[in-house]
Structure 1
Amino acid sequence: MSTQYGFYIDSSRCTGCKTCELACKDFKNLSPEVNFRRIYEYAGGDWTEQDGVYTQNVFAYYLSISCNHCDDPACAKDYIVVMDNFTVC
């Protein structure tokens, strides 16, 4: 059995661009409908009017989820992720 690594992702830096999703598909040569990595979006809020002035409390959060099943992860070889003595990435 090969060593499996987990991902530590700083969600505050995620913009929901889904580039990580595409990179995984490209590296593994996957078809468009297969998603080993998924980006979830949680958004909400609204606009309020008070005395003719509109203010908003709109927000969006993104969460990048991976399958963690790569035997030979490209992100570790290409240093897309930072490894801490190969125990935490």
Structure 2
Amino acid sequence: MYFQADVDAWLAHALASHLGHYRDPAAREAAAGILPQHVLAHAALLAELARLAPAACVDQLVAARLAAADPEATADLAAFLTRATEPAGAEGSRA
């Protein structure tokens, strides 16, 4: 039986983890142009959460629900987390 949500979650996980086909940077770049926004947002959030807490088991269901509910806000959250954890710039503020 085919379940779109399961397929979307698998794609997001593979994209975020650079698994299989998505090991190739060109494949990840191409995916950005063809995958639905909620899958890309889900992948971005999973990647950032895994970067912040590599040993933690990221709850994919929560990330998937956020991405399905509001992909733009999910992508914004991933970008915010990235910026918030970047090293301070030369002037002492976040880069």
Bigger relative contact order, structure 1 or 2 (CA pairs below 8 A, ≥6 apart): 1
- Shorter-chain TM-score above 0.5: no
* Structure index of larger Rg: 1
TM-score w.r.t. length of structure 2: 0.28
Q: If each structure's helix is expressed as a fraction of its own residues, which one has the higher value? A: 2
